[in-house]
Amino acid sequence: MVAAVIIASCANDTGSTNGDKTTTPADTTASAPADTTTAKLAVKKKKGKASAVVSTDNTLKIEKDKEGVYTKAEKMPEYPGGEAALTKFVETNINYPPDAIDQNTEGTVNVSFVINEKGKVVDPVASGKTAGHGLDEEAVKMVKQMPAWKPGMVKGKPVKTRLSLPVTFKLADA
């Protein structure tokens, strides 16, 4: 199963307003209020986008590991409502971390998790190289919030199946 997911973007204003003066994270010194006729400091807004794809390696054999988890099932787990519902879920449940936006951090977080026999998401963890600045934690948090899936099936019985969800975070100017 391959499911493409586009995640809604969120804006982050890196400055704050203090009286008549706009401050940025680098501007921490106190000063007299600026003349209202002078131009305020421009603060560039950034937006973050993320995408995710559930993919299956069709070359894997249908067998379980020592923990009783299949890496491939005869019928792979399905998100309730299909790919469109998964896309909508991700769009409404993931936020590009403000620290990652401030630090211009982009990257892909691979979240590995198991769909158990009842369809529940179990043990989501970021695997492989970490992206940092909260991206790994946000991707795992989003997966933990997922509703029950239709479980994977082997010989007509529901089985625990491991999935991997690469979540790609990308910045764009507003």
Beta bridge partners of 5: 52
In a domain, residue 33? The reply is: no
- pLDDT tens figures, 6-19: 343 344 444 433 44
pLDDT number for residue 51: 64
- Residue-by-residue DSSP string for 12-59: E---EEETTEEE-TT-----PPPPTTSPPPP---EEEEEEEEE---TT
Quote the number of domains for the chain.
1
At residue 165, the pLDDT reads 87
**Residue 64 maps to which CATH number?**
3.30.2420.10
Contact 161, 76 (CB under 8 A): yes
pTM: 0.71
Residue 16 located in a structural domain: no
pLDDT digits 0-9 by tens, 95-141? 999 999 999 999 999 999 999 999 999 999 999 888 899 999 999 99
pLDDT at position 174 is 63
| Rounded average pLDDT over 26-53 | 50
Whether 76 is covered by a domain: the verdict is yes
The pLDDT tens digits for 80-94 are 999 888 878 877 888
CA distance 98 to 104: 10
The domain of 144 spans 3-8+48-173
Residue 37: inside a domain, yes or no?
no
In-domain check, residue 26: no
Cβ(169)–Cβ(108) below 8 Å: yes
What confidence tens digit (pLDDT) does each residue in 54-77 have?
Answer: 766 677 889 999 999 999 999 999
User: What mean pLDDT value characterizes the chain?
Assistant: 77
In a domain, 38, yes or no: no
Residues 6+ apart with CB under 8 A from 48: 9, 10, 12, 96, 100, 101, 169, 170, 171, 172
